[in-house]
Structure 1
């Protein structure tokens, strides 16, 4: 039996409650953006042929503190290290890339990288190739050389990345353009058709957004008012905090149009859902008429669930995948303020996507075989028990906002608050009070006026420490519930 170590936040079958999922790794076990689960879970399924054991590395191979003992264990216990990546050639990922390189260089087993891409970011639509320093460029070169020392080729997500690696000296003999593994879960059978005749105010569809794309705030408010059944599906860790705990980001503007505060109409009407597992996420999307927005993997999740989706391409990383897979997309700089879901749906044509799917799957399958990886789309290697097992796994429900009227979701919120008090309640409040004279004192018998004086002074100090917080919290709750 082969054993594969897979770079991912968690095993797709592992049930992790959202409260815990948020606190793991750096700001979520998925690494700040739950969209990372979409392509890592897909890769897990693709390589899970009968008889193979696929193990998640929980991102340990790129965390600080890697030891020789860890690398030796990987080399001894596994037959292959498969590394799905996204837009990894960026400044903020250089530390991870260096640590991954150290691990790869210490291995003797095959290593395969799938779906790595350019950085994206502001201005990248005009300049798609990463603008890195000499040191960062050397880090990328060292990483790619290490991968190629352990594999036939490196799999990149699109033409921008292929062009970038060519500038570093890695030609077509080193690079295969394979797109994103998220869209290969079901092979060439994945086809998209429009189920609804049109998007109307009665339609049920979803929106996703990147908070740094300015037009998405006003768009979210306008759509919240026009389409009462539209639901926003966030992917960032800060929004999960807001939904579970009511914790707004620092310096948030409550009058702002982004759905990142308690008074936003999407929060108030409980039309936000956060998924911590791709199975529940895709099951939900499969029941929707449409998905649109700036999150590439949010829309790819919809397409994987056979739901029509349109990408609003705002940078090179989103555009690169939209172009490769022929996903209907519109360029954000070319959109005006009146852009509307109904118009996007009517405009979208999925014939190109459907035609490209077969060729893309064949190209991806050839890449895997070239690099010595068995996969479920090969003849005789299908694994129908995989989906049956996923369907039987009791994943947590999607997180709703604190404004929910759903009885189960409300009970979950109540249990969450009770857990919070059990963990940090009394001690946290007591820690806010420090007596003026912090030494032991004794009240002499027959001195009845002393204790009340000390007690009243203590009460005043507790009130001065706690009441501003209580008043702020109470006011926020009153605003959020509409009661003053």
Structure 2
């Protein structure tokens, strides 16, 4: 039995409540993370493997490394756009942990974050961290799997010309070497069930506010599937924007029309996410996994590309897409569907899957489609679970979570009070030191023929100032 430790927010078979998803951030700030980690779990699960979720937080201590070395045979790491400045701290922690491991470490998909024209200039500050991570992984595996052409060329420029394989994202291989043919939505009109998805980071590239406004005016059955933890928190907790205002152009406050009309959802579990999207006619927007999820469910979708991570995956998998910067805000979904060509995505899927399997084979990992039951047991077990639906807008009534909300608010209030008390005490102590030092300075001035100038006084005060 091969014991696999996988980096993921949770096991696909663990049923978490909405409260737990939010409080523990099981989605890793983005629901898309669970889509590819669940897919990796399914792919690697056979009668000869046992898979354990490590969570998303890395504990890089010697004790944790010892536990992993003793209890597991391989550490599998599915990642998203991990090569980005904001992920540097997490990447360094992963490197510290991996450098202490004696078992194989396999990265099944990682990407670099750059602009849609593949400009990696902003990645300069993290080059040392990226090199360290890649070296640590390659010292413990046959090769590293990356998401697409941009990431491969970026790593080549950093000196890694060998043992880097473009494999895409595991989420696209949820069904193995087959891929659902997207349904024909028919004529897309006011009766159609349409889903849009949008990324806050894409607002500088295209007119997302206009895109949402036109979609809302055209389709009475419209849904906006957001994916971030911040969106889930607004849906679950609410906000005071009705009083404080003003209304926002991007849907991030309850006063936005999409929230006011209860059109917003945040998926918490991949299975219910795909089940819900299977009931819609067409999906479009800037989220890569927000568009992969419906494709896996047989619903046609088109990606509006705004950065390298979405573009390189679309190019590799043949996912229909167009550049957001060249997309008018009033574009009709019918036009997007009519121009979409799904042939490359479907016809090239088996070849891409075989390439992915080859990567797994070279790294000593079996897969359920070649060495197991094709995921039948996984799907059967998952189907028997009562997984939570996507999160909707809380209307303020008792939805069964009021007790949790009050308890959580009390906990936060208590923690805040304790922190305030601690900071006040520290501030008072520092103030006493400052007063004492000023008295000593005054004594020195009074008893010395040399006067201490204002500049020295200011420097002393600055160094003794609280939080300096």
Aligned ranges 1:129-278 → 2 under 5 Å: 129=120, 131-133=122-124, 136-171=126-161, 173-214=162-203, 215-247=207-239, 254-278=246-270
CA distance in 1, matches of 2:413, 2:92: 39
How far residue 372 of structure 1 moved from its aligned partner, in angstroms, is 0.5
- CA-CA distance at 1:95 after TM superposition: 1.1
Question: SS of 2:265's equivalent?
Answer: coil
Q: Give the match's secondary structure for 1:132.
A: helix
What CA distance in whole angstroms lies between the structure 1 residues aligned with 2:201 and 2:137? 33
Give the whole-Å Cα distance in 2 for the aligned partners of 1:9 and 1:217.
31
Question: Could you tell me how far 1:420 is from its partner in structure 2?
Answer: 2.2
| Residue 344 of structure 1 pairs with residue 344 of structure 2 | no
- Consecutive unaligned residues of structure 1, counting only runs of 5 or more, are 404-409, 433-484
CA contact (8 A) 2:176 2:374 kept: no
Q: Deviation per CA, 1:333-359, whole angstroms, max 9, x where unpaired?
A: 111232222221222121111012111
Distance 1:423 1:362, change over 3 A: closer
* Residue of structure 1 equivalent to 2:432: none
Deviation at 1:402, TM superposition (A): 2.6
Q: CA deviation at 1:248?
A: 6.0
* Cα offsets for 1:452-472 (capped at 9, x unmatched): xxxxxxxxxxxxxxxxxxxxx
CA 1:248–1:375 in structure 2 vs 1: closer, same or farther (change >3 Å)?
farther
Task: Decide whether the 8 Å contact of 2:83 with 2:130 is kept in 1.
Answer: yes
Query: Following the alignment from structure 1 to structure 2, what is the Cα–Cα distance between the partners of residues 211 and 383?
Result: 35
8 Å CA contact retained: 1:292, 1:310: yes
Q: Give me the whole-angstrom Cα distance separating, in 2, the residues matched to 1:235 and 1:427.
A: 24
Preserved CA contact (<8 Å) 1:38 1:182: yes
Gaps of 5+ in 2: 418-468
Partner of 2:102: 108
Partners of 1:127 and 1:292 in 2: CA distance: 23
Quickly say closer, same or farther: Cα 1:56–1:380, change in 2 above 3 A.
closer
Structure 1 residues 128 and 225: alpha-carbon distance in aligned structure 2, compared to 1, 3 A threshold:
same
Q: Distance in 2 between matches of 1:230 and 1:308?
A: 15
How many residues end up aligned between the 2 structures? 413
Residues 274-308 of structure 1: CA distance to partner in whole angstroms, max 9, x if unpaired? 22111110111112111110011111111121211
Secondary structure in 1 matching 2:390: coil
Which residue is 2:281 aligned to?
289
**Distance in 2 (alpha carbons) for counterparts of 1:426 and 1:150:** 43
Determine helix, strand or coil for the equivalent of 1:377: helix
Tell me whether 1:323 sits opposite 2:323 in the alignment: no
In the aligned structure 1, how far is the partner of 2:412 from the partner of 2:282?
48
Aligned counterpart, 1:50: 47
**Alpha-carbon contact 1:221-1:257 (below 8 Å) kept:** no
**1:372 is matched with which residue: 353, 360, 364?**
364
Q: Deviations over 1:220-253 (max 9, x none)?
A: 1221121011111110111111111112689996
* Counterpart contact for 2:197–2:284, Cα < 8 Å: yes
CA drift of 1:92 comes to 0.8
> Which residue number in structure 1 is paired with residue 440 of structure 2?
none
Q: Structure 2: how far apart are the matches of 1:113 and 1:252? A: 46
Asked whether the equivalents of residues 18 and 276 of structure 1 are also in contact (C-alpha less than 8 Å), the reply is: yes
Match of 1:12 in 2: 12
Q: CA deviation at 1:195?
A: 2.7
Secondary structure at 1:302 match in 2: helix
Check the 8 A contact 1:125/1:314 in 2, yes or no.
yes
8 Å CA contact retained: 1:365, 1:377: no
Q: Is the 8 A contact 1:87 1:118 kept in 2?
A: yes
Helix, strand or coil at the partner of 2:370: coil
SS in 1 for 2:122: coil
Structure 1 residue 126 displacement after superposition: 2.3
Q: Distance in 2 between matches of 1:125 and 1:226?
A: 29
2:36 is aligned with 1:36? no
Q: Which residue among 378, 382, 390 is the counterpart of 1:390?
A: 382
1:422, CA displacement in angstroms? 4.8
Q: Contact conserved, 1:206 with 1:288, CA < 8 A, in 2?
A: yes
Residues 75-114 of structure 1 show CA distances to partners (whole Å, capped at 9, x for unaligned) of 0100110000111111111111111111111111111001
1:191 deviates by 3.0
Q: Hey, what's the Cα distance between the residues in 1 that align with 2:240 and 2:72?
A: 43
Note if 1:312 corresponds to 2:307. Answer: no
Find the residue that maps to 1:189 and give its secondary structure. Answer: coil
Is 1:420 the counterpart of 2:411 in the alignment? no
Which residue number in structure 1 is paired with residue 345 of structure 2? Answer: 353
CA apart distance, 1:380 = 4.5
- Alignment check: 8 A CA contact 1:218 1:258 kept: no
> C-alpha displacement at 1:2, in angstroms?
1.1
C-alpha deviation, 1:218, in angstroms: 2.0
Measure, in 2, the Cα distance between the counterparts of 1:103 and 1:424.
Answer: 35
Change (3 A) 1:228 1:187: same
